[in-house]
Chains A and B, each alone.
Chain A
Amino acid sequence: MWTTLLFASLPQAAQPLFVDDGQALGDVRTTCGTRAKDYILEVNGGGLALCDFDRDGDLDLLVVDGSTLERVKAEELGLPTRLFLNDGAGRFTPAPESWAMTPGRWGMGCAVGDVDGDGWLDVYVTHWGTDKLYLNRNGAGFLDASARWSLSGQRWGTSAAFLDYDRDGRLDLYIANYLAFDPATISPPGGGCAWKGFPVMCGPEGLTPLHDQLLANVGIASETQPGFRDVTVGAKVRPEEAGFALGVTTLDYDLDGDVDLYVANDSTPNFLWENQGDGTFKEVGLARGVAYDMNGKEQAGMGVAVGDVNGDGRDDLFVTNFSGENNTLYLSKGERGFVERSGPTGLAGPSIVKLGWGTALEDFDLDGDLDTFVLNGHVYPQADNAGTDTSYAQEAQFYRNDGAGRFRVEPLLADGRLVLRASSVGDIDGDGDVDIVAIELDGRVRVLRNTLARDGERKLNWLAVRLTAPDGNRFALGGRVVVEWEGGSRAREIRTSGGYQAAIEPLAHFGLGAATRARRVRASWPSGETLEVLDVPANQTLVLERPKAK
């Protein structure tokens, strides 16, 4: 009974923390097939990245667009990925023509990293079709380097993540692949596939999952140098059975100094690829407790977020799932793996009738602990029929961490129900709190502005930390930052993988609550160097350069 009383006694927030700022981007839309959603290819939506591509100090917005089967049948390319530059106040305008990106067949998601080590962030775009690599030409625009970097093959890539798995200073790439989709052979609408008694599009069950790929960066591509080499088999990142991969993230779950990978698979067990430190990986999802839910059931994983939810210094995992399944929080127990705590933390119950996609673990209310949100929306328009216990358009949810291990669910927006997909996060308007950008399926790209900093009554502080290096892995992906302040401490890892078809900026953001200074900031680079800074004033982005090796 005490739990009932506890939940009942929680106050409701007067207004959602986020507002849909329709002016920030304008009417920018993406396309993913038709609204009827007759084929599984049409339901995942596009991708997003929030990164500073022109290095002017603010976050630019990259939007990956899709296509339609009519275009495919007409042998037309898909719609191009677009870049929107930030004016510094959180308003985006289309980037000049020099940033134009040649389209592929059907864009899905993206990864961001400095693949050629020149200090500028490059972009990898996954496709149903051949993926694309766009090199950043020193802030002057993008160059399609797909052919030179030896990208080939026709797969269905969803999410991707840059990482330096072999710690050679060059960024390698993990590509999450979904399934083999051939419009010529897949069952047409009404072809016998049903959900809750209603005819629906077919898949993923019954279709063939594709193996993911690990591409090693073997150096800057040239006439004689391939750039990427597929090392999936050699690095042992090839399980006996492939999964329907949708989300991916990097993390050092066992804190052994090398980067591991977590893959959210749809309807198949999730993967935890433990880096063995010798250029190979071992799949340990089942043994470490993150492959299934606590009932031993594989879930339909979509989005994934990483962060230290309970402040024990270890990264936890949060996975969004299908309707009828709860979203899953796996709390780290260190090398022993993880234990699911979705129910007691309040993250399970409110998620069961929803179908979750984009998510992140950030301190959105700057009170010193990590909150999360989930973008929801069903894959079947038929979800609006009677008796499904769910709906097609759904309310997006914000889960506020109460600091004691429980999350309280609130509406993310006042706008009601939407069909949302991928998200990216970052401080787009430079006001110190973390904002969200969301893909609405068959709709507008929505800029969801965090209103916290505009509330003058609250004096909440923050600190962002960026790690740099003069060469190699210049954005320090895989680096780690620990911030201690009066009343708390938190560890965060530097990554650009944004979970579901998305990328985020390589930066660690911390809410400090009422503390105006951080007592200590400790940083470690993937190459092993460390740095400690004491008594750091809050409300700034601290840039730490890699010290010279001793």
Chain B
Amino acid sequence: MLNFAVSHHSRCALAALLTGAALVVNSAASNSAASNSAASRSTAAAQAPTPAPAAPTSSAPQAPRGAAELTAAQREAALRFDPRQLPRGESGAWVQWGPSVPPPEAVRAAFALGARSYQEGDYGACLALMQDVLRRAPDQPGALYQAATAYFRLRRYGDCAVLAERFVEVAPKEVGATQVLGHAHYTLGDYPRALEHYQRVVAAAPQSVEAWRGLGLARLKLGDTSGALAALDRALALRPEHADALVWRAQALVELERPSEALESALRGRDLAPFEPRTWFLLGSIFAALGREADADAARARFVELNRIDQQVRAQEALLLTDPRAVEPRVRLVRLHVAAGDRESVSENLARLQRLLPDNLDVGALALEAHSALGDHSAAEAVIAELEKRFADNELTWVSIESYWRARGDDDRARRAADRRKVLRSGQR
């Protein structure tokens, strides 16, 4: 994964940022959705398995150059389409199917492009292409799965469930990879069905961290707190650094009136995902239960601060769901994550911007602003070097650089930038 925008580690980061290197995004459905906070920003990339070939291969036939070629009307039609109307395949048609089996030749290009659209967060395009695949190759399991996860991303949980259930029906051997169906049932409030499905998944794939976590949450919702704790412990045994599972474990321990253990778990979760408001919210309750009122007040204050930002983040992310190529919401996201101090999310959104607007001075200037605000000076200086190299003849470059050095208190370098700016301005006159 290229992770340029916070790459204080590497001077070549900005170069990549400004030259449009490909961005790899995990293709699995967000696991955070099962926390019933699907609108919230995710804090960690999901690692859930996916049975669908998630990316085109070099052997794929020539596909359209990009999902951007799809018209707005095609996307709109795909979003308005009811997936229950998709044709059914012949019984047993996909009995030999497995994740390594490529789609039929006739639909392979569309499938590849749809998978790529998903990776790029363009779920409308993904649906348009996967629906096309499913019309021409009814019930093709990879397309069913990919479309189901796209619906999940679009917060259309009922549609997700329809296609995920169909996937389980035509490819029952792959049930171990369908935790997204449990997530969909959970998010729709059908906790008994979520519980039942998570149990199927962990039976088939006991290594599925997200299914164990989902099972824990479903049990918690149904009042089986001890069972929830056991499931969350299984998830954490598989992935000890799972921040969200740690926080839900803390929640279960609170409900079991074991606040000291809850505190330990919540603090570990906080250390792993310090910008997640919910963790601070829970910490407030735990500290209060332990009689540590000052700590409780501090945790609540941090929660309020982060939650205010998170509300705005969710609003911007909602805009991006329907218009993933929109620039303004992405710029606002960068600034919001800067306000929270969340470097990882700043990086992710700068990288997305760079992909949308390669070779763009404004993106570079935003990156400089962000790294400066985060106090990430090695990354900021890398950006400056790149700006000087690529956009030396633009006045905005020197405005940004002057501002940066001025804020750092380096009057000498600020003056030099100002001089360059003045020269450019006089030349323009």
Binding site for B on A (CB under 8 A): 1-4, 7-8, 194, 196-197, 205, 286-287, 289, 292, 294-298, 324, 326, 336, 343-345, 348-353, 385-389, 406
Would you list 25 pairs from A and B whose C-beta atoms are within 8 A, ordered by A residue? Answer: A1-B199, A2-B224, A3-B222, A3-B223, A7-B192, A197-B322, A294-B251, A295-B36, A296-B281, A324-B155, A326-B189, A336-B289, A343-B223, A344-B221, A345-B223, A348-B221, A349-B190, A349-B221, A350-B189, A351-B189, A352-B189, A353-B188, A386-B82, A386-B159, A387-B158
Taking each of A286, A294, A296, A350, which has the highest tally of chain B beta carbons within 10 Å of its own beta carbon?
A: A296
CA distance A546 to B111 in the complex (A): 78
CA distance A487 to B400 in the complex (A): 76
Tell me if B80 is interfacial: C-beta within 8 Å of chain A.
yes
Q: In angstroms, how far is the closest chain A Cβ from the Cβ of B281?
A: 3
SS of B interface (majority)? helix
CA distance A336 to B287 in the complex (A): 12
Check if B155 sits within 8 Å of A196, measured CB to CB: yes
Check if B222 sits within 8 Å of A344, measured CB to CB: yes
Taking each of A7, A348, A352, which has the highest tally of chain B beta carbons within 10 Å of its own beta carbon?
A: A352
Question: Which of the residues B192, B277, B315 comes within 8 Å of A205, measured between beta carbons?
Answer: B315
Check if B284 sits within 8 Å of A343, measured CB to CB: no
Q: How many chain B residues touch the partner (CB < 8 A)? A: 49
Tell me if B212 is interfacial: C-beta within 8 Å of chain A.
no
From B9-17, B134-142, B165-173, B300-308, the one touching the partner chain is B300-308
Q: In angstroms, how far is the closest chain A Cβ from the Cβ of B189?
A: 3
- Nearest B-chain residue to A385, judged by Cβ: B80
Known: A8-B192, A295-B36. 16 other contacts (CB 8 A): A2-B224, A3-B192, A3-B219, A194-B322, A197-B322, A205-B315, A343-B221, A345-B223, A349-B192, A350-B189, A352-B189, A353-B189, A387-B79, A387-B151, A387-B154, A389-B188
CA distance A286 to B191 in the complex (A): 27
Tell me if B178 is interfacial: C-beta within 8 Å of chain A.
no
Q: Determine the chain A residues whose CB is within 8 A of the CB of B285 once the complex forms.
A: 289
Q: In angstroms, how far is the closest chain B Cβ from the Cβ of A39?
A: 21
Known: A1-B199, A295-B37, A344-B223. A349 touches B82 (CB 8 A): no
SS of A interface (majority)? loop
Q: Determine the chain B residues whose CB is within 8 A of the CB of A287 once the complex forms.
A: 284, 288, 296, 300
CA distance A352 to B151 in the complex (A): 18
CA distance A248 to B311 in the complex (A): 24
CA distance A196 to B155 in the complex (A): 8
Tell me if B109 is interfacial: C-beta within 8 Å of chain A.
no
- Nearest A-chain residue to B300, judged by Cβ: A286
- Nearest A-chain residue to B159, judged by Cβ: A387
Question: Which of the residues A4, A194, A294, A336 comes within 8 Å of B195, measured between beta carbons?
Answer: A4
Q: Determine the chain B residues whose CB is within 8 A of the CB of A1 once the complex forms.
A: 195, 199
Q: Determine the chain A residues whose CB is within 8 A of the CB of B79 once the complex forms.
A: 197, 387
Tell me if B220 is interfacial: C-beta within 8 Å of chain A.
yes
Q: Determine the chain A residues whose CB is within 8 A of the CB of B40 once the complex forms.
A: 297
Which B residues between 192 and 225 are near A, CB-CB below 8 angstroms?
192, 195-196, 199, 219-224
Q: In angstroms, how far is the closest chain B Cβ from the Cβ of A338?
A: 11
Q: Determine the chain B residues whose CB is within 8 A of the CB of A389 once the complex forms.
A: 156-158, 188
CA distance A298 to B311 in the complex (A): 9
Q: Determine the chain B residues whose CB is within 8 A of the CB of A336 once the complex forms.
A: 288-289
Check if B278 sits within 8 Å of A296, measured CB to CB: yes
Question: Which of the residues B82, B156, B277 comes within 8 Å of A296, measured between beta carbons?
Answer: B277
CA distance A59 to B405 in the complex (A): 75
Tell me if B282 is interfacial: C-beta within 8 Å of chain A.
yes
CA distance A389 to B188 in the complex (A): 8
Q: In angstroms, how far is the closest chain B Cβ from the Cβ of A292?
A: 7
Q: Determine the chain A residues whose CB is within 8 A of the CB of B155 once the complex forms.
A: 196, 324
